[in-house]
């Protein structure tokens, strides 16, 4: 009787296995893909798809998963006085401007550079895309060409990339705001703190005159320390800072609030997701993976439980077989 019951349990279990979700992998290297395929039906179909590499000892594979979190942020041109949430759209109806999306896509984000935890916004890839780079300059030129700007102050080093073409196009002089001990003439200087350290900025005495209408250009505003130092230098020589302009803003760092009321115009706001892409990888995608794995494990366990444990008789059967095999 016990043997009969045990055999029935096994046969029923096998039937369950045949009719249930089962993924066969032809080799051990395929098991991750197999698990992902098995997990796919468990994930809501409406979710956004992301891809990320899973490194293996000698090569890397790409797994595509569904996640409710968006990798790319909405891209807007934003100008507002510091501390204000007011948004002034650009004349070109920038919410629809296809140039902004191209610019956004051309900027690479490198996690943990130059320090762990920093999501580095790398504009060098934007410079490789001739159209995106030109569009970036054009957007600034369209905004400033009729504002009677007499000086474009570019912040070392990346402000030197965007500042000069803008200055040339709007007919303003370009003034470099440099790191310490680089300028050969007499300088005035301002110390400031960065997202990842401290620095000092210098400007040549005589480069900017009292009454100059200045535009400060940089690639990115994070804590706002750099732009704040530039504003201070310009105001020390009684120039009028009309606006600060950057390609990228990291709004969580509230750099805008440091600009002593000066307006800030940016092409791209990188919201929490950008800085937290690593966390997203760590928590969101991985937790989805874990959930999928757990679901699969649960299913496998359920089958095992069904086959092996509901019948004490079946366990006795196994004990009996084992004890027989020992003799």
Ligand X SMILES: Nc1ncnc2[nH]cnc12
Ligand Y SMILES: O=P(O)(O)OC[C@H]1O[C@H](OP(=O)(O)OP(=O)(O)O)[C@H](O)[C@@H]1O
Q: Which residues are catalytic?
A: 158, 195
- Could you say which of ligand X, ligand Y, none residue 199 binds, taking C-beta under 5 to 8 angstroms by partner kind? ligand Y
Residue 266: CB atoms within 10 Å: 23
Q: Which residue has the tokens 């005495």?
A: 205
Q: Name the residue nearer to ligand X (CB basis): 118 or 168.
A: 118
For residue 121, the minimal CB distance to ligand X (Å) is 4
Q: Which residues bind ligand Y (CB under 6 A)?
A: 155-158, 194-195, 199, 218-226, 255
Report the partner that residue 176 touches, choosing among ligand X, ligand Y, none (CB closer than 5 to 8 A by kind): none
157: preceding bond cis by omega (within 30 degrees): yes
Pick from 225, 226, 233, 182: nearest CA to 206: 233
Contact 16, 25 (CB under 8 A): no
Q: How far is the CB of 141 from ligand Y (least distance, A)?
A: 20
Residue 64 · residue 49 · CB < 8 Å:
yes
**Closest separation between CB of residue 104 and ligand Y, Å?**
17
CB of 108 to ligand X, least distance (A): 10
Overall size of the chain counted in residues:
327
- Which residues does 73 contact at the CB level (< 8 Å), separation at least 6? 104, 268, 269, 270, 271, 273, 274
Binding at 120: pick from ligand Y, ligand X, none (beta carbon under 5-8 Å per type): ligand X
Residue 118 binding target from ligand X, ligand Y, none, CB below 5 to 8 Å by type: ligand X
Nearer to ligand Y, 50 or 266 (CB): 266
Q: What is the DSSP string of 200-239?
A: EEEEETTSS-TT-EEEEEEEEESSSHHHHHHHHHHHHTT-
Q: Which is nearer to ligand Y, 129 or 199 (CB)?
A: 199
**Smallest distance, ligand X to C-beta of residue 153, A:** 18
Residues contacting 255, CB < 8 A, separation 6+: 221, 222, 223, 224, 225, 227, 249, 264
Residues 151, 134: Cα–Cα separation, whole Å: 21
Reading the block at residue 85, the tokens are 């949430």
DSSP 134-156: HHHHHHHHHHHTTTT--EEEEET
* 221 contact choice in ligand X, ligand Y, none (CB below 5 to 8 Å, kind-dependent): ligand Y
Specify whether the CB–CB gap between 223 and 258 falls below 8 A: yes
121: partner contacted, choices ligand Y, ligand X, none (Cβ within 5-8 A by kind) = ligand X
Rounded Cα gap, residues 103 and 107, in angstroms: 7
**Smallest distance, Å, CB 217 to ligand X?**
15
List residues near ligand X by CB under 6 A. Answer: 118-121, 195, 220, 222, 250
């Amino acid at each position: 009787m016990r043997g009969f019951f045990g055999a029935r349990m096994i046969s029923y279990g096998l039937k369950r296995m045949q009719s249930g979700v089962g993924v066969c992998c032809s080799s051990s290297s395929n098991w991750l893909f197999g698990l992902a395929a098995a997990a796919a039906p468990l994930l809501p179909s409406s979710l956004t798809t992301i891809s990320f590499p899973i490194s293996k000892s000698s090569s890397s594979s790409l797994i595509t998963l569904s996640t409710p979190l968006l990798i790319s942020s909405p891209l807007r041109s934003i100008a507002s006085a510091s501390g204000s949430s007011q948004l002034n759209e650009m004349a070109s109806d920038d919410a629809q401007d296809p140039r902004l999306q191209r610019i956004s896509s051309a900027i690479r984000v490198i996690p943990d550079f130059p320090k762990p935890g920093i999501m580095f916004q790398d504009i060098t890839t934007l410079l490789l895309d001739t159209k995106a780079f030109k569009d970036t300059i054009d957007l600034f030129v369209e905004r400033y060409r009729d504002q009677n700007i007499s000086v474009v102050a570019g912040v070392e080093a990346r402000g030197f990339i965007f500042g000069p073409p803008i200055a040339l196009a709007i007919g303003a002089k370009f003034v470099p705001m440099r790191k310490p001990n680089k300028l050969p003439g007499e300088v005035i200087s301002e110390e400031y703190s960065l997202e990842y350290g401290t620095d000092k900025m210098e400007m040549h005495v005589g480069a900017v005159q009292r009454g100059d209408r200045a535009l400060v250009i940089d690639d990115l505003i994070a804590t706002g320390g750099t732009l704040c130092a530039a504003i201070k230098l310009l105001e020390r020589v009684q120039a009028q800072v009309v606006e600060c302009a950057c390609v990228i803003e990291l709004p969580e760092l509230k750099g805008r609030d440091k600009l002593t009321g000066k307006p800030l115009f940016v092409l791209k706001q990188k919201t929490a997701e950008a800085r937290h892409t690593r966390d997203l990888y760590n928590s969101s995608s991985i937790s989805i993976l874990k959930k999928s794995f757990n679901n699969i494990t649960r299913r496998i366990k359920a089958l095992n439980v069904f086959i092996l444990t509901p019948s004490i008789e079946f366990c006795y059967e196994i004990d009996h077989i084992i004890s027989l095999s020992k003799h």
